[in-house]
A and B are shown apart, each in its own frame.
Chain A
């Protein structure tokens, strides 16, 4: 690998690599380039085999001079993956299987025709859409800050990143005073993307102002919120961007070492980050005297081991130090006494991914995006009961309605929207009345939830909100580190009360106790995990109080989720007497009655069936096997 030792060499390398990239995407006449999605979602649908097959075919057919094929990060539209994109036309193929590789090569690459059957079909208009930017999912997005390069460059090739401008922001920063760098970040209005939304520049300022010859920057990649995967995709798609953000931070606060703390559940991200760090070291972009300056910086990776609480910054520090991941009391804050008792700043992956843009394009350009108090873009992991599941990057200030219905394409199967859960186990549920709220840190808190790290789970009429609260409480009970009693004991008691309610044994008194307990936990826990743990209960209670009451007073689960409060029933007028349900019943609790099905002759052996509720285990097999829609949940 060629070393890049000075600013001039970097700029030269950038120009050369940019020309290569330009050639790849705009292609000389007769040439093409294929990229294949390499995000975790697509990889699990065999996109690696698909790429291998494409590469084999290119070789076999002697097309090496005409077309290249390589992997890119993540297209974000995971429910439609695996993706194949062909340049220069920018034709986007969706749900591509390994077997489809032959047709893509034959028809598109050799024949120059679009493979119609692999194009995205718009669910509303049923029209085929050939270009990515024409798909509704992408239209309102702004995927060029945190997700920059994510579906364009090869995440394992540093030259492509440099071609896209990697390290130019660092180069600029190294010619500024560290205080000027901090001022720029302060002016940009960037706030922590991990959840709390603390101004990033202020965090840096604290650490900068502490006099100490050894400081650390730590990147929090312990993305433990269930339903959130933006940090994973950012690292998988463009690890260099995060490394660069970390280096700029290191320069600003005066640190020489940076630690990435990544969940062990993300092997692909860890692998790509390792490769990226190695390539940076080989080129001299990490190490001593970076770009000919006095700035030296080294990156290290530390893996989590499956503990949600390690996303809390002081617990994370303990984990890096080889201890149980339990939070530390604050103060002292990490900026004063952090990793190995040295001044440290902990920033989330997405926060760092925003930094190069701010330095390169200036704080004004960044601050021009977003709302008054929340600047820039936010990446959301849109999931649950929504048509277009995937990763989206949108400017702050977009409404929930735009997020769920325009980008997300609405709720599948004609069901009704019920709630969107943001902020994971620390957040809350937002409902119909909040749909036109512009998304920013402060609005979401005012509406009773929070931004959190960006998980956004859509729920429809089939989801029971008491069950959702119970789900989060089970999670928190498992993940509470046990250090402080409000969280350790309080969440357990909350879970018991919720279980009592979903079992149909709850009283209105329990509801009151649940509420007061939730408030005690909130105000008395040591760390953010405990302080926010009751939020799912409080927010579902505020928005869906009736549902709690229905469980307690009517002994009904309106969404038919809580098993103790629902039963399966066969509709007499719809049952044709085929007996499919009875044959599939594991509890042998479905029996024939004497009733002749509607429209059937009495001399046939067909009789309406009935479920004996006493022995029913409520597995739902009868319902999934009934082809006449005669079995309902009641």
Chain B
């Protein structure tokens, strides 16, 4: 547990304690940790194992099963291009290709500056406004290939200005 700072240990302990009354709290604990830190590295899994008594192998199995849980840190902006059917038939693959080209990363990867993570999503349920792109939860409607450069540029400009 050497790598974890005491503040993190304290907070994770607090998260685990939130679900003391639940019989099978693992999913809820992991969701909260993922939300708080953006990823669930092995050290954290070991701590959760220690606190809950659930074997770390089982925790690792769960973390790697669900696409919302990540073993590595995500970028500050998580760009999710919807590849649901409605978006796909309206050309969202081309939108994703454009993000890949401009950010120079593949889906699942994070840009070197830590600013962007690119994800291919399976339907955000916004089929009426296809193709949809979700950036940190905000859904951009009817995104065209030609708009991708501006979307990235706007975020970069905002970050650069800070």
Chain A residues with CB under 8 Å of chain B are 40-41, 43-45, 78-79, 81, 223-229, 232, 264-267, 302-308, 319-325, 340, 381, 383-385, 389-391, 421, 424, 455, 457, 459, 463, 468, 471-472, 475, 478-479, 481, 620, 624
Chain B, interface SS category: mixed
B28 CB-CB contact with A under 8 Å: yes
In the bound complex, do residue A305 and residue B31 qualify as a contact, i.e. CB atoms below 8 Å apart?
Answer: yes
In the bound complex, do residue B27 and residue A319 qualify as a contact, i.e. CB atoms below 8 Å apart?
Answer: yes
What per-residue 1/0 map shows which CB atoms of B1-44 lie under 8 Å from chain A?
Answer: 00000000000000000000001111110110010000000000
Report B50 CB to chain A, min CB distance, Å: 16
B115 CB-CB contact with A under 8 Å: no
In the bound complex, do residue A41 and residue B129 qualify as a contact, i.e. CB atoms below 8 Å apart?
Answer: yes
In the bound complex, do residue B89 and residue A385 qualify as a contact, i.e. CB atoms below 8 Å apart?
Answer: yes
Report A633 CB to chain B, min CB distance, Å: 13
B156 CB-CB contact with A under 8 Å: no
- Closest chain B residue to A232 by CB distance? B125
B140 CB-CB contact with A under 8 Å: yes
What per-residue 1/0 map shows which CB atoms of B28-70 lie under 8 Å from chain A?
Answer: 1011001000000000000000000010001001100111110
In the bound complex, do residue A224 and residue B122 qualify as a contact, i.e. CB atoms below 8 Å apart?
Answer: yes
In the bound complex, do residue B27 and residue A226 qualify as a contact, i.e. CB atoms below 8 Å apart?
Answer: no
| Contacting residues, chain A, for B127 (C-beta < 8 A) | 78, 227-229, 381, 383-384, 389, 455, 457
Instruction: Supply 6 A–B pairs (Cβ within 8 Å), ascending by A.
Output: A223-B125, A264-B31, A304-B68, A306-B67, A381-B86, A385-B89
What per-residue 1/0 map shows which CB atoms of B117-159 lie under 8 Å from chain A?
Answer: 0000111111111101000011111000110000000000000
Contact A475/B62 with A44-B141, A457-B89 known, Cβ cut-off 8 Å: no
In the bound complex, do residue B86 and residue A383 qualify as a contact, i.e. CB atoms below 8 Å apart?
Answer: yes
In the bound complex, do residue B68 and residue A306 qualify as a contact, i.e. CB atoms below 8 Å apart?
Answer: yes
Report A80 CB to chain B, min CB distance, Å: 9
In the bound complex, do residue B24 and residue A226 qualify as a contact, i.e. CB atoms below 8 Å apart?
Answer: no
Chain A, interface SS category: mixed
Cα–Cα distance between A266 and B130 once the two chains are bound (Å): 16
Contact A455/B125 with A306-B67, A323-B62 known, Cβ cut-off 8 Å: no
- Closest chain B residue to A225 by CB distance? B123
Contact A40/B139 with A226-B83, A226-B122, A307-B65 known, Cβ cut-off 8 Å: yes
| Contacting residues, chain A, for B72 (C-beta < 8 A) | none
Chain B 60-113 residues near chain A, CB threshold 8 A: 61-62, 65-69, 83-86, 88-90, 94
| Contacting residues, chain B, for A306 (C-beta < 8 A) | 66-68, 122
| Contacting residues, chain A, for B128 (C-beta < 8 A) | 41, 78-79, 81, 383, 389-391
In the bound complex, do residue A322 and residue B125 qualify as a contact, i.e. CB atoms below 8 Å apart?
Answer: no
| Contacting residues, chain A, for B65 (C-beta < 8 A) | 307, 324-325, 481
- Closest chain B residue to A425 by CB distance? B85
Cα–Cα distance between A629 and B90 once the two chains are bound (Å): 20
In the bound complex, do residue A384 and residue B26 qualify as a contact, i.e. CB atoms below 8 Å apart?
Answer: no
In the bound complex, do residue A303 and residue B123 qualify as a contact, i.e. CB atoms below 8 Å apart?
Answer: no
In the bound complex, do residue B85 and residue A383 qualify as a contact, i.e. CB atoms below 8 Å apart?
Answer: yes
Cα–Cα distance between A620 and B65 once the two chains are bound (Å): 37
Q: Which of A43, A226, A381, A459 has the most chain B CB within a 10 Å cutoff?
A: A226
| Contacting residues, chain B, for A472 (C-beta < 8 A) | 85
| Contacting residues, chain A, for B94 (C-beta < 8 A) | 620
Report A255 CB to chain B, min CB distance, Å: 16
| Contacting residues, chain A, for B27 (C-beta < 8 A) | 302-303, 305, 319-320, 322
- Closest chain B residue to A77 by CB distance? B128
Report B77 CB to chain A, min CB distance, Å: 17
In the bound complex, do residue B125 and residue A266 qualify as a contact, i.e. CB atoms below 8 Å apart?
Answer: yes
- Closest chain A residue to B139 by CB distance? A44
| Contacting residues, chain B, for A340 (C-beta < 8 A) | 23-24
Among A41, A44, A305, A323, the residue within 8 A (CB) of B69 is A305
Q: Which of A44, A232, A308, A321 has the most chain B CB within a 10 Å cutoff?
A: A44
Report B89 CB to chain A, min CB distance, Å: 5
Instruction: Give 13 new A-B contacts, CB below 8 A, not counting A229-B126, A264-B68, A481-B65.
Output: A40-B139, A45-B129, A78-B127, A224-B123, A228-B127, A232-B125, A306-B66, A322-B27, A383-B127, A455-B127, A457-B127, A459-B89, A479-B122
In the bound complex, do residue B90 and residue A475 qualify as a contact, i.e. CB atoms below 8 Å apart?
Answer: no
In the bound complex, do residue B26 and residue A226 qualify as a contact, i.e. CB atoms below 8 Å apart?
Answer: no
In the bound complex, do residue A305 and residue B137 qualify as a contact, i.e. CB atoms below 8 Å apart?
Answer: no
In the bound complex, do residue A305 and residue B67 qualify as a contact, i.e. CB atoms below 8 Å apart?
Answer: yes
| Contacting residues, chain A, for B123 (C-beta < 8 A) | 224-229, 265
| Contacting residues, chain A, for B23 (C-beta < 8 A) | 340
- Closest chain B residue to A265 by CB distance? B124
- Closest chain A residue to B66 by CB distance? A305
Report B53 CB to chain A, min CB distance, Å: 12
Cα–Cα distance between A264 and B127 once the two chains are bound (Å): 17
| Contacting residues, chain B, for A303 (C-beta < 8 A) | 27-28, 31
| Contacting residues, chain B, for A78 (C-beta < 8 A) | 127-129
In the bound complex, do residue A227 and residue B85 qualify as a contact, i.e. CB atoms below 8 Å apart?
Answer: yes
Contact A384/B86 with A78-B129, A389-B127 known, Cβ cut-off 8 Å: yes
| Contacting residues, chain B, for A455 (C-beta < 8 A) | 85-86, 127
Report the 5 A-B pairs with minimum CB-CB distance, sorted nearest first. A78-B128, A322-B26, A226-B84, A305-B66, A383-B86
| Contacting residues, chain B, for A323 (C-beta < 8 A) | 24, 26, 58, 62
